[in-house]
Amino acid sequence: MKALFKNHIWEEKYVMKKLKSPQHLFAKTCLALALGGISLAVTSNAQPVAAAFSQRIEAETLSQHTGNVYIRHDGDKIPIDTKGNSITLNNASGHQFVDFSDPVADTSSYLNTIPAGQDSATWQVQVPKAGFYQLRFNYNNPATETKGNRNDRDERNFRVMINNSTDPLSDAGWAGWMIFNISGYKDANTPQSTVQSTDNYAAVRGNTKWNNNYMTVHLNAGTNTITLALQAPPGQAVFDGPNLDFFDVTDVSDQYATNSEIPYVAKDFKFAHPGISYTAKTLDRIRANKDNTSTIDGKAYAQLKASPLAAADYQPDPQALIDIGPYNNPNIGGDHLTKDSFAASSNALMWYFDRDSAHAKTAINILNAWTNTLTTVGHGNDAKLRFALDFPEMLNAAELLKNVYNTDPTTADADKWQPADIARFDAFVKSMMIARGGTYSPTVDYYPQANGGWDALIGAFNMSAAVYLNDVDLYNAALQQFYLGNAQNPNGVSEGALLSYIYPTGELQETSRDQAHVQLGINGLALQAAISWNQGIDLFSAYNSRLLAGVAYTAKYNLGEDVPSETFASDLSRGKANDGTPAYEIVANHYLTQQPMTTDAVQSVQQAADTLSRAPIATNEGGQHINWLQAALYTTD
């Protein structure tokens, strides 16, 4: 058996290594001890494992640059606006650092941004072998522009390019956006409970803290170039650049599973139906308890029945065009798809609980209406996110209609979802939502350059579609993405892969951004685990139960507890369950009923489910109140 812990340059912290899937019970036991507050001792005969390759690249050793890039020294005054205000930084590694970009004079609009690609820097990096490498950037963002304009977090964004320093705005070598979020409190003694956004971010504005942010990339053996090119993602702005001290390049390849360790399904694998978000066993339990309003099931049924989206006379409003841009600008057809998706799933559930065929016919009508109406999907990447967030609801409806309603002996042949309509819907999912083999692929190609929450959610959508379509290849690609993040590109790494998104401590790739995005990210990963569990595949135990670590960390922080952070946790949206945050319900249910484990981590997740996910204000993308419905659907015992 491989060692559970790997010593990374002995004076550094221990990092948990991956374990093969059959060893997950031992990993789970060890994790339970660790998360329960009991340390794991290293026996006296344990031998140190060779340290992984790690190299520090000082920012001032750049090999080339364009635009406004300055090498500064400790004690230099760094301009932060055009009014003569500045900050002074000290304690840089090597006493030097790089100051990117000149401040924008007019910050009244996000359109007044530093031009994309104008300011860039390139470094030469030598690594001994090809593989996964973690980049740890040490930087300062003094948070001097926190005035909104779609950039409330004062994000200072760079496009990270691997082995392409000549055309840094192309897709070739584009690893993703590196977001240098606010780097710390102005006063190092400020408690974590401080609300950072109070008084126009007075607690963080003008901070001089050096902070970390991370990205996993794929490098070739030998010499590589790493280029940072200032560029705001669509709809955002960069009003000033960060100050970069250094970045570490560390080989993390052996922390990732090998391809043979991923639990791929065989070509003749038989998917269980219904088996996306819930199974017939769960639905039967809710149906049996629906009239008992003292139970979660009874409350869930009453909540569903009261929703306008669950009405049997609901009328869909399908659109011929879906075109969704950044921040929903434009938003053509997006809201229509969202509302109708939740109406389809709500009516399918109402049929299951009441056996009233009027609800099934309404769900069928919604699916057929969109199948026969939508003809064009615009090229805005935000369409991927809309499909990932909402369209699984139509797939859940289709699962029930095709596999339960149509096979129910009480359903008249004339009332069934007709084979020709099913075939058209299946083709519609493939051509419009997945678009495999098309010139534009909304979900099958993922979006690895974005923050990890995107691909976590897209992975959940692709798994949902794979189950409904009995598509082994699509499902296996989603598994590869979950474990490695390179389903779209073998030389790329998505930040939405489990290891890339959740760090060993449980902190997440977007923890420094805001809690709304963090919770969307863990939703996507937890949904993938729930779907796979319904298919007999255990993703909860992957990488020493890394999902539990991430969900527990997020739960604790959003419950108001202090958590250790290497990236300065953002308190934006803290304490609010984003779209109900099904991750809390899914993970708590798993470790309370499916693989019972009693630890502090599980208790924190259950508390978050009880107080955040089940809060009366919790709603889904369609605006439905779902606190009880979600609790019931993701409770399996």
Q: What pLDDT, on the 0 to 100 scale, is given for residue 149?
A: 61
Task: Give the position of tokens 């052996």.
Answer: 254
Expressed as residue numbers, the domain containing 427 is 307-469
Do 346 and 458 fall within a single domain? yes
Q: For the segment 543-593, what is each residue's pLDDT rounded down to a tens digit? A: 999 999 999 999 999 999 999 999 999 999 999 987 789 999 999 999 999
Q: For the segment 265-287, what is each residue's pLDDT rounded down to a tens digit? A: 999 999 999 999 999 999 999 99
**Structural domain includes residue 528:** no
Asked if pLDDT for residue 439 goes beyond 70, the answer is: no
**Structural domain includes residue 524:** no
Per the CB < 8 A criterion, the answer to whether 451 and 513 are in contact is yes
SS3 content of the chain, % helix, strand, coil (to 5): 40, 15, 45
Do 334 and 445 fall within a single domain? yes
Question: How far is 291 from 307, CA to CA, in rounded Å?
Answer: 17
**Structural domain includes residue 86:** yes
- Neighbouring CB atoms inside 10 A of 284's CB total 12
Do 320 and 392 fall within a single domain? yes
Pairing of strands 14-16, 5-7: antiparallel
**Structural domain includes residue 561:** no
**Domain stops at, among 435, 469, 503:** 469
Do 328 and 196 fall within a single domain? no
Q: What pLDDT, on the 0 to 100 scale, is given for residue 441?
A: 74
**Structural domain includes residue 106:** yes
- Around 591, how many Cα atoms within 13 Å sit in the side-chain half-sphere? 31
Do 218 and 80 fall within a single domain? yes
Do 61 and 160 fall within a single domain? yes
Per the CB < 8 A criterion, the answer to whether 175 and 161 are in contact is yes
Q: Which two tokens stand for residue 114?
A: 């530093």
Strand order in the sheet with 376-377: 331-332, 321-324, 376-377
Do 251 and 335 fall within a single domain? no
**Structural domain includes residue 82:** yes
Burial class (CB in 10 A: 0-12, 13-18, 19+), 594: middle
**Structural domain includes residue 130:** yes
Asked if pLDDT for residue 21 goes beyond 70, the answer is: no
Do 326 and 405 fall within a single domain? yes
Q: For the segment 215-270, what is each residue's pLDDT rounded down to a tens digit? A: 999 999 999 999 999 999 888 899 999 999 999 999 999 999 999 999 999 999 99
Task: Give the position of tokens 């805001």.
Answer: 514
Asked if pLDDT for residue 197 goes beyond 80, the answer is: yes
Q: Which two tokens stand for residue 97?
A: 């650092």
Q: Which residues are CB-contacts of 527 (< 8 A; sequence separation ≥ 6)?
A: 277, 392, 457, 460, 463, 582, 583, 586
**Is the omega angle on the peptide bond into residue 409 within 30 degrees of 0, that is, cis?**
no
Question: How far is 232 from 244, CA to CA, in rounded Å?
Answer: 17
Q: What pLDDT, on the 0 to 100 scale, is given for residue 200?
A: 87
Q: What pLDDT, on the 0 to 100 scale, is given for residue 601?
A: 98
Task: Give the position of tokens 């099913």.
Answer: 422
Do 325 and 233 fall within a single domain? no
**Assessment of whether the complete model's pTM goes beyond 0.85:** yes
Q: What pLDDT, on the 0 to 100 scale, is given for residue 382?
A: 86
Domain tally, the chain: 2
* Nearest alpha carbon to residue 277 among 102, 533, 488: 533
**Structural domain includes residue 617:** no
Q: What pLDDT, on the 0 to 100 scale, is given for residue 440?
A: 62
**Domain stops at, among 439, 454, 469:** 469
Q: Which two tokens stand for residue 387?
A: 């499909």
Determine which helix (DSSP H) or strand (DSSP E) holds 607, and give its type and residue range.
Answer: helix 600-608
Do 245 and 311 fall within a single domain? no
CATH label of the domain that carries residue 224: 2.60.120.260
In degrees, to the nearest 5, what angle opens at C-alpha 595 toward C-alphas 590 and 597?
90
**Domain stops at, among 255, 270, 297:** 255
Do 242 and 320 fall within a single domain? no
Task: Give the position of tokens 């935000």.
Answer: 382
Q: For the segment 62-119, what is each residue's pLDDT rounded down to a tens digit? A: 999 999 999 999 999 999 999 999 999 999 999 999 999 999 999 888 899 999 999 9
- Give Cα separations from 167 to 97, 122, 180, 234, 588 (angstroms): 25, 12, 22, 19, 47
Do 247 and 314 fall within a single domain? no
What's the mean pLDDT when you consider all of the chain?
90
Per the CB < 8 A criterion, the answer to whether 359 and 414 are in contact is no
Asked if pLDDT for residue 340 goes beyond 80, the answer is: yes
Per the CB < 8 A criterion, the answer to whether 310 and 300 are in contact is no
